[in-house]
Amino acid sequence: SQQGEEDPQALSIQEGENATMNCSYKTSINNLQWYRQNSGRGLVHLILIRSNEREKHSGRLRVTLDTSKKSSSLLITASRAADTASYFCATGTNTGNQFYFGTGTSLTVIP
């Protein structure tokens, strides 16, 4: 399976703390994306990082990519209660048009 895996499966932190979640994947990729899903809703695209990039920032989000380790991390700084959601990584390959989603990290930010 080309599906990625997020780690940890669940994370609970206090508001204001930083949250870090990791994604590992199995095959060569063209890009990697992170999505957020609020309970029972669709996924919202957060950020895309290409395979030739190592780090990318967007507001309070920081994404790193290590293609040699086939892993990525998503850091959310100064977390807020509204950040409570599930976070998924998705990988895009060079050969297909399909994105492969990981299993997700459930983040709970306690006010």
Query: Does the footprint of other proteins cover residue 42 (CB under 8 A)?
Result: yes
Query: Does the footprint of other proteins cover residue 88 (CB under 8 A)?
Result: yes
- CB-wise, 44 or 110, nearer to other proteins? 44
- DSSP code at position 81: G
Query: Does the footprint of other proteins cover residue 35 (CB under 8 A)?
Result: yes
Q: What is the dihedral of CA 68, 87, 76, 85, to 10 degrees?
A: -170
Query: Does the footprint of other proteins cover residue 94 (CB under 8 A)?
Result: no
- DSSP code at position 83: G
Q: Which of 12, 57, 5, 46 is nearest to 27 (CA)?
A: 5
- CB-wise, 84 or 104, nearer to other proteins? 104
- CB-wise, 19 or 88, nearer to other proteins? 88
